Structure 1
Amino acid sequence: MGILEIIGLITVLIITLIIIATLTLLIVGYVLIKKNKILFPKLALFLLDNFYSILLRLFLFIGSEETFYRIGIEFYNKYYEDKFKSTNKKILILPHCLRDAKCPAKLSPNGIECVMCGKCVIGEILKRAKSLGYEVYIVPGSTFLKRILKNDSGVFGVACYKDLFYGMNYLSRKSIPMQGQPLLKDGCLNTIVDVDELLNRLENLR
């Protein structure tokens, strides 16, 4: 066996070991998160913030894309929970897709302005969240999110798994404490969120 073949074999072995080690860490990390523990939290945060695309490709060997996003969301929620609680101002971001198809609300510079018509769950969520001290925004896109962000605030987002993960990843890289809750049913219209769970979490995170 020539020297180049030996180098090639060693390289393949090293790459294989790295992939196996990374997948093992992902699996162990997920199990620990379920038990309210985080393995090497600062290292895990650095890797997820900056190398999520590589981690996703590796994770697809053993699971689905949505499962990866779910793990990432659960990690961010656990990592930032105490930091979120300690913020003086808390912002709730709701997706416009929660609205009823015949929603009469209009778009303003601050997002969709709910008129409390009762056609969807947004009015109920908005009323309770405001009573708990949250600023509430119903946003049609990520540009609105960037417009209202403030470094002294904590952000609680509701969205589909993919959008929520990338939103939390963006906030984490900005060192903005966040929490998130995935939709039960996603899509572009008439999506569904677990309202009871959301309101309970908003209250417990004050």
Structure 2
Amino acid sequence: MEIQNESKKNIVYRKFVFLLVLMFSIIALSVTTLMLLAKGRNQYFYKFTFFIITITLAGVGLLLLSIIITVILLWYDYPIPKASKRILEPSITVIYPMILFLGKLLQYNENTIRRAFTELNNKLVFSNEYHIEGKNILILTPHCIQKSLCPHKITTDIKNCKRCGNCNVDNLIGLEEKYGVSFRVVTGGTLARKIIVDVLPKAIVAIACERDLISGLQDVKKLPVIAVVNRRPEGPCVNTLVDLDEVERAIKHFLLSKKE
């Protein structure tokens, strides 16, 4: 199962890198075209305008090339300079809509691109070092992780869970108790944002579908977030599951990774 998951992640990653390379190729072609057009113009205004546009596109192209190199190094767990991380973290959020647009043109599944984005985010977070107390780590999950027929409402108080073991809520409460972290179940993004404001965590382990994770990552930019994509054996938003090993690995990373 682990080998299959890793294989799927690599396929998703390759598609993501292909879209980045495609963006770079489009920009490089645009720069070449503008240079050729400017060459045939005699008027100073046209030459100056083409020059400015060409320089701008060339700058964007070089930035994109550095992002591609950083993404490849990061994916294969090679060390990357701090400067490259500082460039990648804000840049990838900016170019994400363009990658999504190109993916749609090529008829890629949107969740494939979203998953690649969350995996890249996780790679960035795992490449950094933290030493955070358990009480400052927040696990957030949507209420669809609870069995749909369960009569006990846990979005207002997690202690209402009877811990019958029929869903992953019991397991996540177990992780909460084991590591001293906070665990909340939310009904949507609005409540999730409110809880973040109320709890003021220093790190978040977010469990959700690809779309909701992307939305959350774009909302929470100043906190380290490890995104765990849920499993949906019965379809979206009903009786979802989570890989508990992934959640525990995320918690341990925030707790145990220390600067030398």
Range class of TM-score, shorter chain: 0.7 to 0.9
Count of aligned pairs between the two proteins: 201
Between Structure 1 and Structure 2, whose CA radius of gyration is higher?
2
Shift of 1:108: 4.8
8 Å CA contact retained: 2:136, 2:203: yes
Structure 1 unaligned spans of 5+: none
Partners of 2:165 and 2:214 lie apart in 1 by 29
When normalised by structure 2's length, the TM-score is 0.62
- Name the SS of the counterpart of 1:79 in structure 2: helix
Shift of 1:35: 1.9
8 Å CA contact retained: 1:154, 1:177: yes
Equivalent residue for 1:136, pick from 180, 183, 189: 183
Shift of 1:18: 6.1
Aligned residue in 1 for 2:167: 120
Query: Within the alignment, does 1:41 sit opposite 2:98 as a pair?
Result: no
- Name the SS of the counterpart of 2:141 in structure 1: strand
> 5 Å matches for 1:39-118?
40-48=84-92, 52=93, 54-58=95-99, 60-61=101-102, 64=108, 65-81=110-126, 82=128, 84-87=130-133, 89-110=136-157, 113-118=160-165
Query: Within the alignment, does 1:192 sit opposite 2:241 as a pair?
Result: yes
Partners of 2:219 and 2:80 lie apart in 1 by 20
Structure 2 unaligned spans of 5+: 1-40, 256-260
Any idea what the Cα deviations from partners look like across 1:74-101, whole Å, max 9, x if unmatched? Answer: 3433433446543551111122111222
8 Å CA contact retained: 2:176, 2:183: yes
- Name the SS of the counterpart of 2:236 in structure 1: coil
Q: Which has the higher contact order (CA 8 A, sep 6+)?
A: 1
When normalised by structure 1's length, the TM-score is 0.75
Shift of 1:141: 0.8
8 Å CA contact retained: 2:147, 2:238: yes
Identity %: 20
Any idea what the Cα deviations from partners look like across 1:34-68, whole Å, max 9, x if unmatched? Answer: 122446111222223xxx35432145436744344
Larger strand percent:
1
8 Å CA contact retained: 1:160, 1:183: yes
